[in-house]
């Protein structure tokens, strides 16, 4: 088996992540909560308490957290089936997410959607979608509505590099580029489309190049540093808000686990996975907070607080009543 060389797409640049404890601390907390929520989900899955498909985002947390940090509450987020982190970053609670995964009435969509279909109207989280690329036009549609109304909202659309070969991606980008819709397309390039590496799925591995075909701005960078992600996505969000112009951003990242719980990830070498784990965005942010003067006690307090939040969410999910209604949600009366 051959695997591609693990490489940075750009040199380390620490200047971009000039930050403060006040800015970084809440982002570190979000990333850690997402990590702990995903670990709790994996545990519950192995205990048979969560069913179906479960796609974890462990390793990629800096992308959704950094990107959503660049938004205002009125902005929209559209995501894939690997969307627990995006939903959490947008403001959906760990209780609502874990209860949903457990198929409970108290879940964010009442046990009707599960892991892949988290939606939340009050935080403008427009959903998790299970058909690769099918949600890209939907994001363009939310942006179309913003332009139609002139409400100044921007839509973020997340997808993996595996979506860049399907029609929905091409058509969504084509129309957003043509009509100058205020949307930022964020390709979370985790380098494997399920089990297929880039070099076996893309003739041009730089997904951001597709922007050129649609007359939109592009950006491409490594996604280890949550502050860098926030800064670079903020540029695209600002462009969308100010001029209505879309951007295609490719963020190179890595998932530490398999595609889903049923995937042991045998298509990657241990060395490769270990190399990426050394770039863990959480460790990086924690070290940065220490550098910035946050002491170990403060960090431990934050981490204990996250632990307590997720333990509470698991307990809430387990103890909540089962889902109990599906008929009222087929057709709106």
Does 102 engage in binding with other proteins (CB under 8 A)?
A: no
Contacts of 85 (CB under 8 A, 6+ apart): 34, 38, 57, 60, 61, 64, 65
CB 215 within 8 A of CB 273: no
Closest CA to 249 of 222, 227, 284: 222
Exactly one of 81, 144, 159, 276 binds other proteins (CB under 8 A); that residue is: 144
Exactly one of 59, 141, 160, 223 binds other proteins (CB under 8 A); that residue is: 141
| Closer to other proteins by Cβ: residue 25 or 104 | 104
Exactly one of 142, 216, 261, 306 binds other proteins (CB under 8 A); that residue is: 142
Task: Tell me the residue length of the chain.
Answer: 333
Site for other proteins in 150-169 (CB under 8 A): 167-168
Does 18 engage in binding with other proteins (CB under 8 A)?
A: no
Does 178 engage in binding with other proteins (CB under 8 A)?
A: yes
- The rounded distance, in Å, linking the Cα atoms of 319 and 104 is 9
Closest CA to 213 of 251, 252, 253, 164: 164
Does 324 engage in binding with other proteins (CB under 8 A)?
A: no
Select the span of 13-21, 108-116, 219-227, 270-278 touching other proteins (CB under 8 A): 108-116
Least spacing, CB of residue 110 vs other proteins, in Å? 4
SS3 276: helix
| Closer to other proteins by Cβ: residue 199 or 329 | 329
Does 113 engage in binding with other proteins (CB under 8 A)?
A: yes
Does 180 engage in binding with other proteins (CB under 8 A)?
A: no
Q: How far is CA 171 from CA 63, 132, 186, 217, in A?
A: 24, 13, 15, 17
Element (H, E) at 178: helix 167-179
- The rounded distance, in Å, linking the Cα atoms of 190 and 254 is 4
Least spacing, CB of residue 219 vs other proteins, in Å? 23
Does 308 engage in binding with other proteins (CB under 8 A)?
A: no
Contacts of 6 (CB under 8 A, 6+ apart): 272, 275, 276
Exactly one of 121, 278, 293, 296 binds other proteins (CB under 8 A); that residue is: 121
Does 97 engage in binding with other proteins (CB under 8 A)?
A: no
Does 266 engage in binding with other proteins (CB under 8 A)?
A: no
| Closer to other proteins by Cβ: residue 175 or 310 | 175
Burial 36-52 (b: 16+ CB within 10 A, else e): bbbebbbebbeeebbee
Exactly one of 77, 98, 108, 156 binds other proteins (CB under 8 A); that residue is: 108
Site for other proteins in 54-83 (CB under 8 A): 76, 78
- The rounded distance, in Å, linking the Cα atoms of 108 and 115 is 10
Does 112 engage in binding with other proteins (CB under 8 A)?
A: yes
Closest CA to 82 of 258, 244, 250: 258
- The rounded distance, in Å, linking the Cα atoms of 316 and 28 is 24
Exactly one of 28, 119, 192, 221 binds other proteins (CB under 8 A); that residue is: 119
Select the span of 41-49, 62-70, 144-152, 184-192 touching other proteins (CB under 8 A): 144-152
- The rounded distance, in Å, linking the Cα atoms of 5 and 120 is 39
Does 143 engage in binding with other proteins (CB under 8 A)?
A: yes
Element (H, E) at 34: helix 21-46
| Closer to other proteins by Cβ: residue 134 or 265 | 134
Question: What is the contact surface with other proteins in residues (CB under 8 A)?
Answer: 76, 78, 107-113, 117, 119-121, 126-127, 129-131, 134-146, 148-149, 167-168, 170-172, 174-175, 178-179, 326, 328-332
């Amino acid at each position: 088996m051959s695997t591609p060389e693990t490489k940075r797409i750009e040199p380390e640049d620490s200047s971009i992540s000039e930050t403060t404890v006040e800015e970084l601390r809440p982002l570190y907390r979000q990333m850690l909560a997402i990590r702990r929520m995903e670990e709790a989900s994996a545990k519950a899955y192995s205990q048979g308490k969560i069913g179906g498909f479960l796609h974890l985002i462990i390793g990629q947390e800096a992308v959704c957290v950094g990107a959503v940090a660049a938004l205002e509450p009125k902005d929209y987020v559209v995501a894939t089936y690997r969307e627990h982190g995006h939903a959490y970053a947008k403001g959906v609670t760990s209780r609502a997410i874990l209860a949903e995964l457990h198929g409970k009435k108290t879940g964010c969509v009442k046990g009707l959607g599960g892991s892949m279909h988290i939606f939340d109207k009050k935080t403008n989280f427009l959903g998790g979608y299970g058909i690769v690329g099918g949600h890209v036009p939907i994001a363009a549609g939310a942006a179309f509505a913003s332009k139609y109304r002139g409400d100044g909202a921007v839509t973020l659309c997340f997808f993996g590099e595996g979506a860049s070969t399907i029609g929905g991606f091409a058509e969504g980008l084509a129309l957003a580029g043509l009509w100058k819709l205020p949307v930022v397309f964020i390709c979370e390039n985790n380098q494997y489309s399920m089990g297929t590496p880039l070099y076996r799925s893309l003739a041009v591995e730089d997904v951001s190049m597709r922007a050129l075909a649609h007359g939109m701005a592009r950006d491409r960078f490594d996604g280890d540093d949550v502050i860098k992600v926030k800064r670079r996505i903020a540029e695209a969000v600002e462009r969308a808000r100010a001029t209505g112009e879309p951007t295609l951003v490719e963020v190179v990242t890595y998932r530490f686990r398999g595609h889903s719980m049923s995937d042991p990830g045998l298509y990657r070498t241990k060395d490769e996975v270990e190399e990426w784990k050394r770039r863990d965005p959480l460790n990086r942010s924690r070290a940065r907070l220490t550098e910035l003067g946050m002491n170990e006690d403060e960090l431990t307090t934050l981490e204990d607080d996250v632990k307590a939040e997720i333990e509470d969410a698991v307990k809430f999910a387990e103890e909540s009543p089962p889902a109990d209604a599906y008929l009222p949600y087929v057709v709106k009366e």
